[in-house]
Amino acid sequence: MKLPKAVHKELYYKMLLTREFEQTAAKLFIQGKVHGTAHFCIGEEATGVGVCSALEKEDLITQTHRGHNQGIGKNMDINRMMAEFLGKETGYCKGKGGCMHIADFSVGSLGANGVVAGGMPIATGAALAQKYRKSEHITVCFFGDGAANEGAFHESLNLASVWKLPVLFVCTNNQYGMSTSIKKSMNIEDISIRATSYGIKGIALDGNDVVNIYQETKKAKEHVKEHGPMLMVLNTYRWMGHSKSDAQLYRTKEEVEQWKEQCPIKRHRAYLLENGIFTEKELDAVQQEAADAVRAAVEFAENSPEPKIENIFDDVYAD
Amino acid sequence: MRDITYAQAINEAMSEEMRKDDSIIFLGEDIGVYGGAFGVSRGMIEEFGEERVRDTPISELAITGAAAGAAMNGLRPIVEIMFSDFMTLAMEQLVNQAAKNRFQFGGQGSVPMVLRAPGGSGTGAAEQHSQSLEAWVAHVPGLKVVIPSTPYDAKGLLKSAIRDNNPVVFLEQKLLYRVKGPVPEIEDDYSIPLGVADVKREGKDLTIITYGRMVPRCLTVAERFAEAKEADIEVIDIRTLVPLDKKALIDSAKKTGRVLVVHEACQTGGFGGEIVSTIVESDAFFYLDAPVKRLGGLDVPIPYNPQLEAQVVPTEEKITAALRELL
């Protein structure tokens, strides 16, 4: 299946936007402009971008704490993402959630989660509502390799399977749960074989191949609508530390360098040039567009007001 | 009015709301043809079908989280957790997800769900099936907490809980399920707002503040004091821990000048401490004729042996002794 040129541009732009967003966010940390923490997905851009770009607006997602690529993939507004990152009133969560809790219900994101596997039962329930209402749409549940060892993983896949719910479970396997290699935390190499225990389909893909992820997600959506849940594992790598305080003593520089050669953005660029889809000049222009958008987002965020303590009780309870 | 059981009142509240609102679904272990471990949902799967009354795997975490997720996506789920002790298995989704969702996402969504679970001792079910864990959930902003003491309150409060746009923990009392009491006819669609305490017995000499299955026990003792002309005791049932009707407690304390707080849950860290603080931090303090006293359960797990089990929670004798100390 050949993808339309516009889709290629979208994938390339969103991956660049994610990287630009995170590299800029990392700089804001160094400048002392950010109060909390952040978890960067640099090197994993193809996962969230590839999957979410293949969805429709009405399809829902639950995100992980390392999910800027998922949010950008689902067309979240980076101005409001950056504002939330800086804890501003104009942020997605009015400065109360920070980047671990970014959500945009209007584009189908039921939110990022600070708890490993925390979004899995929620995604299952969102899909239950879709099935109950006979919706044509599905829910995509993002989680990491670490979450695959939580009880919530087992309970959610089992429940979704027995009820045949329209949920696509997407495991971003970046090889480490914080500092612990999957070699130490599970006795299998291919996480997708766990699907067998729930009587559902499981596939494992190269998580740095955005074109293939996009295509497989389209197919997976049809499978999920017809047969119920499916487990899709995207094998990738986290270039940065777990969070801003990670000295990365648990892995070698050589290992990181090897994975950097598999950079999803570089690979997509090479593919686009080799196949004559875009010229160097055109791709440079896309890169410039992403950089400009992030610069504007920082400006928006920095010029936004701080939240007021007078509003602290807002939204603890709904009316 | 007719007399129905507490369990039947809960069944009626759910069924009547489900007839009116097809966004309500009901999830739980063995709630279908089995009718629930305590028979509360008998007949519901026959009326509403398997799509709306869903027997689940034994997966408290996933059931609770799925209810939250379905609530975020337009439904109004009710979850039955077979024993409130098993809320421990669902705590992550209840506390970190359902309770915080609206606040942490800047008010984008809401989580209209009810988690029903029976608590309390007295059935010989021992340590892991007899706890009263209401203080745990009352401590979490974002949750509402209800504990009804009569069939009338159970039905009226559950209707409000189902219609509420927040996660509500509705803690039932195992020993009250078979107790009968007057409840309006089915066509009389009454409800009781959350956050309004109820004066179950008016009195002028002393106020007992309590909730759940300690309400009928305190009323029995209060009647005995009245018959003996020993004292005229007011009994206030708070009914909802969150939101708490502070004014009702403060007003009654001012009126009588003496307050005893009674609950079955372990005394240390129990909700009684919150009730006492509410009174002594208010201007009711200046009306008090005696220190405010708490009577909670002993700080031990609930034991199996029936004599032991009966003695670790406030008994009529202990309540009587505590009242005499205050009078």
Whether omega before A229 lies within 30 degrees of 0, making that bond cis, reads: no
Q: Indicate whether A244 pLDDT > 80.
A: no
Please state whether A198 falls in left (phi above 0), alpha (psi between -120 and 50) or beta: alpha
- Whether residue A38 is predicted with pLDDT greater than 90 in this model: the reply is no
**Is domain B2-183 annotated with CATH 3.10.450.50?**
no
Confidence check: pLDDT of A28 > 90: yes
Say whether B101 and A111 touch across the interface (CB within 8 A): yes
Q: Evaluate whether residue A123 is within a structural domain.
A: yes
Using a CB-CB cut-off of 8 Å, the residues of chain B touching A158 are: 57, 59, 62
Chain A interface test: which of B88, B104, B168 (most A C-beta within 10 Å): B104
CATH number, domain at A271?
3.40.50.970
Q: Which of B193, B201, B304 is nearest to B239 (CA)?
A: B193
CA atoms within 13 A on the CB side of B22: 4
Fold exhibited by the domain B198-326 = Rossmann fold (3.40.50)
Q: Does residue A169 sit in helix, strand or coil? A: strand
Residue pairs between chains A and B whose CB atoms are closer than 8 Å: 144
Q: Does the beta-carbon distance from A105 to B109 stay under 8 Å?
A: yes
Which residues on chain A are in Cβ contact (under 8 Å) with B65? 120-122, 124-125, 152, 156
Number of compact structural domains in chain A: 1
Evaluate whether residue A236 is within a structural domain: yes
Look at B102 and A317 and tell me if their CB atoms are within 8 Å. yes
Q: Report strand pairing: B26-28 vs B78-80.
A: parallel
Distances (CA, A) of B13 to B20, B38, B53: 11, 16, 15
Contacts of A129 in chain B (CB under 8 A): 69-70, 73-75
Q: Which residues contact B99 (CB under 8 A, 6 or more apart)?
A: B140, B141, B142, B143, B167
- CA–CA separation, B76 vs B98, rounded Å? 13
Q: Is the distance from CB of A10 to CB of A72 less than 8 angstroms? A: no
Please report the pLDDT score of residue A6 as a whole number: 98
Contact assignment for A133 to B104 by CB distance below 8 Å:
no
Q: Which residues of B are catalytic?
A: 129
> At which residue do the structure tokens 């959630």 appear?
A97
The whole-number pLDDT of residue A107 equals: 98
Task: State whether residue A103 sits within 8 Å of chain B by CB.
Answer: yes
**ipTM score:** 0.95
B53 touches chain A (CB under 8 A): no
Q: What is the pLDDT of residues A149-187, one digit of tens each?
A: 999 999 999 999 999 999 999 999 999 999 999 999 999
Which stretches of chain B drop beneath a pLDDT of 50? none
A305 inside domain: no
pLDDT tens-place string over residues A103-124? 999 999 999 999 999 999 999 9
Residue A56: pLDDT band by 50, 70, 90 thresholds?
Answer: very high
Q: What is the rounded distance in angstroms from the CA atom of residue B10 to the CA atom of residue B218?
A: 23
CB contact under 8 A, A317 and B142: yes
Report the percentage of chain A scoring pLDDT > 70: 100
Q: In chain A, which residues have their Cβ closer than 8 Å to the Cβ of B167?
A: none
Q: Is the pLDDT of residue A1 over 90?
A: no
- Is residue A44 in a domain? yes
From the candidates B61, B75, B79, B160, which should be mutated to test the interface with A, based on the most A CB atoms within 10 A? B61
In a domain, A152, yes or no: yes
3-state secondary structure A82-128: HHHHCCCCCCCCCCCCCHHHCCEHHHCECCCCCCCCCHHHHHHHHHH
Q: What is the mean pLDDT of residues A29-40?
A: 87
State chain A's mean pLDDT as an integer.
96
Per residue in B132-189, pLDDT tens? Answer: 999 999 999 999 999 999 999 999 999 999 999 999 999 999 999 999 999 999 888 9
Domain that holds residue A102: 5-252+262-296
pLDDT 10s digits, A72-82: 999 999 999 99
What distance in Å separates the CA atoms of residue A136 and residue B297, rounded to the nearest whole number?
Answer: 53
Q: Provide CATH 3.40.50.970 ranges for chain B.
A: 2-183
**Strands A201-206, A230-235: pairing kind:** parallel
In a domain, A79, yes or no: yes
Among the partner residues A120, A129, A315, nearest to B102 by beta-carbon distance: A315
Q: Does A292 touch chain B (CB under 8 A)?
A: no
Task: State whether residue B167 is helix, strand or coil.
Answer: coil
Instruction: Name the DSSP letter for residue B31.
Output: -
What pLDDT is recorded for position B197? Answer: 98
